């Protein structure tokens, strides 16, 4: 992760997706932990999605904007980032009733780059999902990645994206666990308000 100011627990951290040099999507998250080894961000239910009004949009508008999605729903998710890695380990919960651990989601993306308001990245479509209680993980959106590559969303990155997916799978097959399983029992601070996007979120330089 590129250098920049660190965030304190409870700070609003804007996670933006940058496509072809311009802001494509943004969402406010809450800082859970920020250290030299780990950046943990929480995306709660109700967090608003931001879609810029101006831009070239060479690959079209963000799919969630096209689908009419305006906020994150569900129990929220926790996103665990290690410096320089092209994926995050996301923690999901399910319910109602209650709030039960649902599984680990390995989200392939650009290594996050710090900005004055948060971090910039770009989702790479390809993911791995390991449901709670399942014996093995599964790949997700393999065909969708092929479609996005054909659309020109990730020029010259196809091999690297697939290689990162294979690397994660190999680590899991070898029994490697590079995140703390205790995060499955984590709960957000009930005093945290739902974060909002700050003014000018779409004009901060990438």
205 falls within a domain:
no
187 falls within a domain:
no
pLDDT tier, 139 (very low <50, low <70, confident <90, very high otherwise): very high
What pLDDT is recorded for position 3?
58
Quote the domain boundaries for residue 132. 12-176
All residues at 6 or more sequence positions from 82 whose CB lies less than 8 Å from its CB, including other chains: 37, 38, 178
188 falls within a domain:
no
92 falls within a domain:
yes
Asked if residues 119 and 1 have their Cβ atoms less than 8 Å apart, the reply is: yes
161 falls within a domain:
yes
CA-to-CA distance for 60 and 54, rounded, in angstroms? 12
The count of structural domains within the chain is 1
Check which CATH number belongs to the domain holding 156 and give it.
2.40.380.10
pLDDT tier, 1 (very low <50, low <70, confident <90, very high otherwise): low
pLDDT tier, 200 (very low <50, low <70, confident <90, very high otherwise): very high
193 falls within a domain:
no
Q: Of 54-58, 113-117, 136-140, 168-172, which gets the smallest average pLDDT?
A: 54-58
Q: Is the pLDDT of residue 78 over 80?
A: yes
192 falls within a domain:
no
- Which residues are part of the catalytic machinery? 140
Please state the rounded mean pLDDT for residues 71-75: 93
What pLDDT is recorded for position 151?
86
Tell me the pLDDT of the chain averaged across its residues.
Answer: 95
97 falls within a domain:
yes
């Amino acid at each position: 992760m590129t250098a920049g100011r660190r965030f304190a627990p409870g700070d609003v951290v804007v996670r933006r997706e940058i496509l072809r040099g311009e802001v494509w999507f943004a969402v406010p998250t809450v800082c859970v932990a920020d250290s030299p080894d780990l950046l943990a961000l929480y995306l709660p239910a109700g967090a608003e999605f931001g879609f810029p009004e101006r831009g070239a949009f060479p690959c079209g508008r963000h799919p969630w904007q096209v689908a009419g999605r305006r906020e994150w729903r569900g129990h929220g998710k926790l996103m665990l980032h290690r410096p320089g890695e092209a994926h995050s380990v996301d923690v999901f919960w399910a319910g109602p009733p209650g709030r039960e651990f649902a599984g680990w989601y390995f989200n392939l993306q650009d290594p996050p780059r710090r900005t004055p308001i948060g971090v910039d990245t770009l989702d790479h479509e390809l993911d791995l999902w390991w449901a709670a209680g399942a014996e093995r993980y599964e790949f997700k959106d393999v065909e969708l990645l092929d479609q996005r590559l054909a659309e020109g969303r990730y020029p010259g990155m196809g091999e690297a994206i697939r290689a990162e997916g294979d690397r994660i799978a190999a680590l899991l097959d070898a029994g490697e666990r590079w995140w703390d399983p205790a995060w499955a029992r984590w709960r957000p601070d009930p005093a945290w308000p739902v974060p909002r996007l700050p003014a000018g979120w779409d004009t901060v330089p990438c």
